[in-house]
Structure 1
């Protein structure tokens, strides 16, 4: 009987120890879960190339500019008030400024950035960060045009750009199938053209485009490609586009913002502005 009681006590001690270890493991896991939720950025904070480093990485050293390419920059609220004269003097001749995101955000620095780049002589345009999981493509195109994304034939305004890339707030493809994503993009592009008379530029990365649209090639005939790849070359382009119009080659360019190369001399930048 004594041996039996001793064994029962020992079993109870093992059971209690197991429960405590399980509880400790559960508690230990909680901070990591909380940290993961805390790592999700606030709505509105997205910007061009936000997911490129995380998903595509940085491969090689970007090639230096040459006479057939024209340096550009893109900025958002993260850059605040931009020293445009410094950028102009460094050789930057064109710029894109984040205007909107979804149908819930406008860039508070938009006026300083959009007008400031124009005032120093740059050819500039506006871009929209797409969130296909929040509202329709048409709704976001209208919101974009109504909040700075329009176009005018003044020789210094580029057509609006659709920034369609990794979702910083959740699932990479915004919970959409490939065909649904293509439909959403088409909805945005058609609405933008109906409002402005211009075909919007598409900014994306080949890896995201392949994953989330099935490497759809149907927009290449009308919509200029702005490719994001932080490497020594642009690499493989999305289906349908035989060449890129713009290349975002680094997120850490001089002064501020992501830096880009236009695939042509300055007169070709003006040609795109003039339509």
Structure 2
């Protein structure tokens, strides 16, 4: 998924006492942990970006794609020479083919992708409590109008605000759900921190689990659906301490750019979605038949 240019934050009331306490106990001050610049969420310069993200090409907000850790960890991505390069009508495992997009892709040729056999799409809606994608409406509606089953996703920034406030912001800015049979449950993109503050956003494993729980329970209370969780195996096991708290409730969307999805994160025995390549765009596979994809959308 793509990090897009952060804007000046619009704060919402903080809810979720557990996550708030966890953040207070583990962060060294949200204001001081934010990237430097013209405000707490201005576009970071390359010298203030997580070194792994910088190595992967993230030089400013909007400059890196979801799953940017490709090639730097054996659990998350195969070396470039072994990465899947599927481009059209076949997923590596025979599931239903789809894609995910954000502001980074701009105008999307939905008819062209539909003609290639893709049948679902996830579209970035929000990040933190400070950014909404200005291409979200056109991408979200464009995919729907072309016949895609589509959903929206939120890029988590746990160092910005509580999980509950980010879930609320997400739902208010495109992350809602309706039982029309064409809308997938919203997804939480929780992965390596591309900003300063450390891989796990300065949180302990217990605080990270509390933050994710704060987001997912709030999202479920607002929409009636359990959020999909997008992550990588090594990030999850490192930053949540191999938590098994979500495998029985939240569908897994695993990122691994390779010919197989590899080992699942702790708590999940199988995946629902798999992002298997970023060539020529982020491409994904649903683990099941089209009728099962429809069932997931229907709820």
How does the TM-score come out when normalised to structure 1?
Answer: 0.82
Equivalent pairs counted in the alignment come to 239
The residue aligned with 1:69 is 95
1:186 aligns with 2:213: yes
3-state SS in 2 of match to 1:193: helix
Out of 58, 72, 90, the residue aligned to residue 78 of structure 2 is 58
Partner of 1:267: 291
Question: Aligned residue for 2:237?
Answer: 210
Deviations 1:4-51 (A, max 9, x none): xxxxxxxxxxxxxxxxxxxxxxxxxxxxxx863485644466652133
Mark the runs of 5 or more structure 2 residues left unpaired by the alignment.
1-44
**8 Å contact 2:158–2:211 — kept in the other structure?**
yes
TM (normalized to structure 2)? 0.75
What secondary structure is seen at the aligned counterpart in 2 of 1:156? coil
Pair 35,162 (structure 1): closer, same or farther in 2 beyond 3 Å: closer
Q: How far apart are residue 52 of structure 1 and its match?
A: 3.6
* Residue aligning to 2:67: 49
Give the deviation of 1:252 after TM superposition.
1.2
Tell me: CA distance 1:42–1:112, structure 2 relative to 1, closer, same or farther (3 Å).
Answer: same
> Is the 8 Å Cα contact of residues 48 and 195 (structure 2) preserved in structure 1?
no
Structure 2 partner of 1:239: 266
Is 236-245 or 113-122 further displaced after alignment?
236-245
1:214-248 Cα distance to aligned partner (Å, 9 max, x none):
11111010100000001111111011211100000
- The CA deviation at 1:58 is 3.0
What pairs up with 1:106-185 in 2 under 5 angstroms? 106-170=132-196, 171-185=198-212
Checking the alignment, whether the CA contact within 8 Å between 1:68 and 1:265 is kept in structure 2 is no
Partner of 1:23: none
Match of 2:104 in 1: 78
CA distance in 2, matches of 1:67, 1:244: 12
Q: CA 1:35–1:225 in structure 2 vs 1: closer, same or farther (change >3 Å)?
A: closer
Asked if the contact 1:51/1:165 (under 8 Å) is kept, the reply is no
Normalized per residue, the structure richer in helix is 1
Q: Is the 2:98–2:283 contact (alpha carbons within 8 Å) kept by the matching residues of 1? A: yes
Instruction: Point out the more displaced range, 52-61 or 164-173.
Output: 52-61
- Decide which of 47, 70, 77 is 1:36's aligned counterpart: 47
CA RMSD of aligned residues (A): 2.0
1:221 to 248, 258, 266: 248
SS at match of 2:108: coil
Q: Is the 8 A contact 1:158 1:272 kept in 2?
A: yes
The 3 A distance-change label for structure 1 pair 66 and 35 is: closer
Contact (CA 8 Å) 2:127, 2:155: kept in 1 or not?
A: yes
